[in-house]
């Protein structure tokens, strides 16, 4: 199983309605081989945290690579890239 973790830092003055909508559109992705998909905004419990995180589990590397190449996923990723200050991501095997 492959776990994909993505952390996003948006500007402090970002449009919160847009960010919530974007998170909903990411959560609605339905790529084959996706075992779980969790996305949520930071709770603000510590100063300096990032804006939101995605944690997604995939059956195998092929499923992750299909998600990574998915057309809708890449449209959402491009929209996010226009607004994000930073995006950190990694994949690891469970």
Would you kindly state where each structural domain of the chain is located, as residue ranges? Answer: 2-93
pLDDT, residue 7, reads 98
- Asked whether the CA dihedral 23, 34, 68, 50 is positive or negative, the reply is positive
Q: Is 3.30.70.100 the CATH number for 2-93?
A: yes
pLDDT, residue 70, reads 98
Spatial separation of the C-alpha atoms in residues 36 and 79, rounded to whole Å? 23
Q: With contact defined as beta carbons under 8 Å apart, do 53 and 41 qualify?
A: no
Residues in the chain where the model's pLDDT stays below 70: none
Query: What does DSSP assign to residue 47?
Result: T
pLDDT, residue 77, reads 97
pLDDT, residue 8, reads 98
pLDDT, residue 62, reads 98
pLDDT, residue 47, reads 93
């Amino acid at each position: 199983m492959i776990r994909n973790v993505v952390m996003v830092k948006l500007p402090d003055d970002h449009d919160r309605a847009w960010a919530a909508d974007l998170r909903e559109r990411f959560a609605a992705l339905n790529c084959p081989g996706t075992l779980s998909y969790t996305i949520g905004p930071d709770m603000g419990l510590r100063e300096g945290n990032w804006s939101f995180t995605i944690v997604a589990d995939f059956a195998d590397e092929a499923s992750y690579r299909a998600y990574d190449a998915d057309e809708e996923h890449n449209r959402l990723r491009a929209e996010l890239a226009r607004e994000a200050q930073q995006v950190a991501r990694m994949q690891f095997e469970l």
